[in-house]
Amino acid sequence: MVAWLERVGRHNIATTVISLAEVQCGIERQRVHHPATSVTLQAWLDSLLLSGGPHIHVLCIPAALLFARMIETPALRHFTLSDPRQKTIKTGADLAIAAIAITHGATIATGNTAHFAQISRHFPLPGLLNPFQP
C-alpha cells in the first residue's frame, strides 16, 4: 500500500465524504472497548483534515441523483437492505462512493473490489484497483 501511494503520488489521491464518515464510524466503535485507540485515531483524523489532507469529493447533485438510481436498481438492493437480525447496518456507502467516483471520473482504490465490481456491472466505474495487491 505504501509503495502504491508513493508511486501514484499523494497529490493524485482523493477520498469522499462517505469514506470519512466510514472512518469516523470505525473510531466511534472503538470508543466503547478501546478508548485509548479511539483517541489516537481521532487525533490522526483531525490532524489529517486540518492539514488540508487529501482532496475530498462531496456528494454533489449529479452524484446524489446517480446514487438514487443505484439504490433503486433491484440487483443492487442488497447494498441498502439488511436482515433485521443482523448487527451491522447497511448504509449504501459503497453505492454512494461509486456514484461520486463516476461523477468525478475517479478510479476507486479499495481492498473491497468485489462489491465495486458488482456495482460496475450496472453502473460502469471509471476504474477499480486494489492497492494491496501487486
Does position 3 have pLDDT exceeding 90, yes or no? Answer: no
User: Residue 54's pLDDT is what?
Assistant: 87
User: Residue 2's pLDDT is what?
Assistant: 67
The grid cell for 107 is 478510479
Beta bridge partners of 48: none
Express each pLDDT in 82-125 by its tens digit: 777 777 778 899 999 999 999 999 999 999 999 999 999 999 99
Using DSSP's 3-state secondary structure scheme, residue 130 falls into coil
Indicate the pairing of strand 14-16 with strand 108-109.
unpaired
Report the C-alpha gap between 134 and 130 in whole angstroms: 8
Express each pLDDT in 27-82 by its tens digit: 999 999 999 999 999 999 999 899 888 899 999 999 999 999 999 999 999 899 87
Phi-psi category of residue 92: left, alpha or beta, with phi > 0 → left and psi -120 to 50 → alpha: left
Q: Which domains does the chain have, with CATH numbers?
A: 2-129 (3.40.50.1010)
Widest CA span in the chain:
43
User: Residue 134's pLDDT is what?
Assistant: 73
Please, are residues 30 and 36 in contact by the beta-carbon 8 Å criterion?
no
E-strand stretches of the chain: 14-16, 55-57, 108-109, 128-129
Does position 15 have pLDDT exceeding 80, yes or no? Answer: yes
In 10 A of CB 59, how many CB atoms?
17
Q: What is the CA radius of gyration of the chain?
A: 16
User: Residue 1's pLDDT is what?
Assistant: 59
